[in-house]
Structure formats: C-alpha cells, structure tokens
Amino acid sequence: MNTPLESWLFWAVLSAGFAALTAIFGKIGVENVGADFATFIRTLVILAAISLILTASGGWQAITSISPRSGLFLVLSGLATGLSWVCYFRALRIGDAARVAPVDKLSVVLVAVFGVIFLGEKLSGPNWLGVALIAGGAVLVAYKG
C-alpha cells in the first residue's frame, strides 16, 4: 500500500495549496515593490530553500549525470518558469489576485492540450470535459461584471 508521500495526488494537492498562498503572498508583496525585483527575491528564496532540501535529503548529483537532452529541457523549463513568474508578478501588481490566479491556471488547459500534441498522452471524453470546465471556470472567475 502506498503512503501519502508516494502519491502524486497528495503532492499535487499540496502544490495547489502552496500556489494559492503564492498568489496571496505575492499580491501583498508586490504592493510597493517592482514586479521584476519581487521575482528576483522570490527566486533567491527558492534557490536557498531547494539547496537546503537537497542537502538534507542527500539529493545532490553531479551535473555530468544529466544527459544533454535532459539538460536542454531542464534549461528550457527554467526559462519558461522564469518568464511565467515575471508575467505573473506583473499581472498581480496590476490586477486582483482572485482574477489573476485563475487565468494563470489556464496553464492546466494548455498542459492538457500540449500533453496530447507533444507527448502523445491520451485524454478521455470526461477528461476533456474537465479541461473545458476549467477553462470556462477560469474565464468566469476572471470576468469583472
């Protein structure tokens, strides 16, 4: 039997909770700080935290153990993450957290579409319905009416 620590759902729910806190804390944090500088501070904190986690868990590994293909895609992922954060903090600086975060979560819809197109993943009818509901829900929450 799997423990919660071995469950993708456990970690995904925690991720959602921390993402929600990111929006709330970020909105408060960018109140009197430039969005790009806020992203820099956030990045420093993440770098320090993951360094501590790697040290505590013994998870450090040699850079040479990473294949060139994996390295390339990790670099691309890092660039995409950085650009996402810059855009996210700029959006938070201008807009309401309750509207910015749901639009940001349209990434769920894009991941589903990209997963099918680029990774060959298969989604069922109910899966696609869920994707459509997420998209519709994000639009409705972001709507200022």
pLDDT tens track for 96-135: 999 999 999 999 999 999 999 999 999 999 999 999 999 9
Name all contacts of 16-22 with Cβ < 8 Å and 24+ positions apart: 19/101, 20/101
Q: What is the residue extent of each domain of the chain?
A: 4-95, 105-145
38-71: pLDDT as tens digits? 999 999 999 999 999 999 999 999 999 999 999 9
The runs of H, that is alpha helices, within 61-122 are 68-94, 97-104, 107-119
Answer yes or no: are the C-beta atoms of 45 and 107 closer than 8 Å: no
Task: Give the confidence band of 145 by pLDDT, cuts at 50, 70, 90.
Answer: confident
* Residue 111 to residue 130: CA distance in whole angstroms: 13
Number of H helices, E strands in the chain: 6, 0
pLDDT at 1 over 70: no
Q: What is the pLDDT of residue 2?
A: 80
CB atoms within 10 A of CB 30: 22
Angle, CA of 110, 111 and 112, to the nearest 5° = 90
Nearest 5 degrees, angle CA 91-CA 50-CA 6?
A: 100
Average pLDDT over residues 29-44: 95
